[in-house]
Structure 1
């Protein structure tokens, strides 16, 4: 694998410390540009002299006008532009296609396999690059590490569009709210949207359960310090990035029983539920069985290290990128 200078135009930690850091592990030199000033971005490109530009998914800074500048910058500095379409398939039409049409990337990495053909029909090369785990960030929990939380959930509300996430919350989180089984919740939107939550789900989450925003690199510590982590899913045919990261720490996870998770993991690696009563029963059962939780968590981490790291995924898609570059 030839090593390249890569300019990553993104300010978000979950992009920089997943894809970006994994590219660095493969020997590429990465320049992270967190400023969205057009002048500063161009100065960074002129100084670093990269061969590759990478942009990721949806963020307001990128979509707020910067997308339209990228074709000119790539032409001026002879940059090969890779766009990682992390909003597929749920927001493929609303966000991914808009980014592609405006930024005109040379290659698209998509997290949904069905979108590869969609992009190819547009005349753009595409590869399937799913979410994964960066084990350098999501370190394993220690066998005797004290558990600070019985049950944890990390994730923002994301109620702007009704997806399978609503059903996942209905059978994973809200049965615990109803039974007053304390669940520690981190993420944006939970306090602000309490009236919507009451209307949509019929429950009010106690304020003492809510901890607000959690920095990306601190999430691993919460996973390691929890007896049970809830694995909310956004779609039945996709697995969230957090799923790979939770399991990568060796944490014990109860997740929604979806087709995608069943294809990737066994019941010796993750415990699945599909209805409120089942969730309550599983939580009650496993909270009192630390050895079994440890066994399942250890199995999960082994599976992640074997099959679901970003370095492994990047090695699979890199040959296409390199052939287009050359």
Structure 2
């Protein structure tokens, strides 16, 4: 299948998502041509006409130019959108889903919402990890920790990190924007290291060298979200698969469909609340072999079922079946 991928052109994590999708398509049996919206509409149209794709795929949601979408429709080329931030901006995605032939979403709650809107081609599909980037890395004391948390400082994460700092002296690494300002009164502690945002390749080194990775899901009701109807996420974040792919142990706050993907105390360990977090961290830091066994089980499951290549194969197989 000839696939034309339209990327956002944005930096940070979006650049990483675009890159791993494009590289995975190139590595598959399918042909791929790609361009960002920053190329300009006329240039994009010329590229699409020249390439003659069987499918246009994009992760650009509410910022996708309506005039380009209408033009693609006139060319008779089906277009699929993969919504990778559901349901946090669902107020902005609900109005646009009928403009796309295929809807793929990383969250089951968003999937259920779109189904209720009578879209005929809606599918739940995790993004999956890139095992070329997220993989077990060599042990290196520069990245070593008892506890590692990588991610933005959402209120629930701040609360749990401060609780651990106030009630333990474990070596902790926190990676992400604004943490230094938030934890300024803890910076003097030798057991705490704060690092700004890092690229996924470097994140894999921190995952691999942490005895325990904390994976605390984003709240659904943040003011910065566009989720006025309060859709509560039902699906795991993609960091779940990234950590597991590094053969790294993780403690994770549960969401509804987590047991479908990874088994509690077999591949990951669930926890809820500050007190249980501290108790669970203490237990698993004393049980190296059990921790390593759980991490190996998770790596095996993810590498066999939850890579970006698996997800893209699902998209292309779905489209090919529908086209007959």
Q: Which category of TM-score, normalised to the shorter sequence, fits these structures?
A: 0.7 to 0.9
Deviates more, 1:212-221 or 1:174-183: 174-183
1:1-326 alignment runs, 5 A limit: 3-11=1-9, 12-34=14-36, 36-38=38-40, 39-56=42-59, 63=63, 66-75=64-73, 77-92=75-90, 94-100=91-97, 104-116=99-111, 118-120=113-115, 121-142=117-138, 145-147=139-141, 148-150=143-145, 151-157=147-153, 159=154, 166-167=155-156, 170-171=159-160, 173-179=161-167, 181-191=170-180, 194=182, 206=187, 209-234=193-218, 237-266=234-263, 267-325=265-323
Q: Distance in 1 between matches of 2:258 and 2:114?
A: 25
1:169 Cα offset (Å): 5.2
The separation in 2 between residues aligned to 1:211 and 1:168, in whole angstroms, is 16
- Give the whole-Å Cα distance in 2 for the aligned partners of 1:74 and 1:28: 20
Following the alignment from structure 1 to structure 2, what is the Cα–Cα distance between the partners of residues 297 and 14?
24
RMSD of aligned C-alpha atoms? Answer: 3.0
Structure 2 residue ranges without an equivalent (≥5): 219-231
Give how far 1:244 is off. 0.8
Secondary structure in 1 matching 2:123: strand
Q: Are the structure 2 counterparts of residues 117 and 141 from structure 1 closer, same or farther at C-alpha, using a change threshold of 3 Å? A: same
TM-aligned CA deviation for residue 269 of structure 1:
1.4
Q: Distance in 1 between matches of 2:78 and 2:178?
A: 37
SS at match of 1:137: coil
Number of equivalences: 298
Unpaired runs of 5+ in structure 1? Answer: 160-165
In 1, Cα distance between the equivalents of 2:128 and 2:166? 33
Decide whether aligned partners of structure 1 residues 37 and 241 sit closer, same or farther in structure 2, where only a CA change above 3 A counts: same
Indicate conservation of the 8 Å contact 1:13/1:216, yes or no.
Answer: no
Tell me, in whole angstroms, the C-alpha distance in 1 between the residues paired with 2:173 and 2:46. Answer: 44
Superposed displacement of residue 324, structure 1:
3.8
Query: How far apart in 1 are the matches of 2:178 and 2:170?
Result: 21
Tell me the secondary structure at the aligned position of residue 209 of structure 1: strand
Range with bigger deviation, 292-301 or 4-13: 4-13
Secondary structure in 1 matching 2:196: coil
Query: Which has the higher mean CA deviation after the structures are superposed, 231-240 or 16-25?
Result: 16-25
For the 8 Å contact 1:109–1:127, the answer to whether it is kept is: yes
C-alpha contact (below 8 Å) 2:4/2:48 kept by paired residues: no
**Contact kept in structure 1, 2:214 and 2:252, CA below 8 Å:** yes
Distance in 2 (CA, whole Å) between partners of 1:34 and 1:186 is 29
| Residues 8 and 33 in structure 1, CA contact (< 8 A), matched pair in contact too | yes
Cα displacement (A) at 1:247: 0.6
8 Å CA contact retained: 2:108, 2:234: no
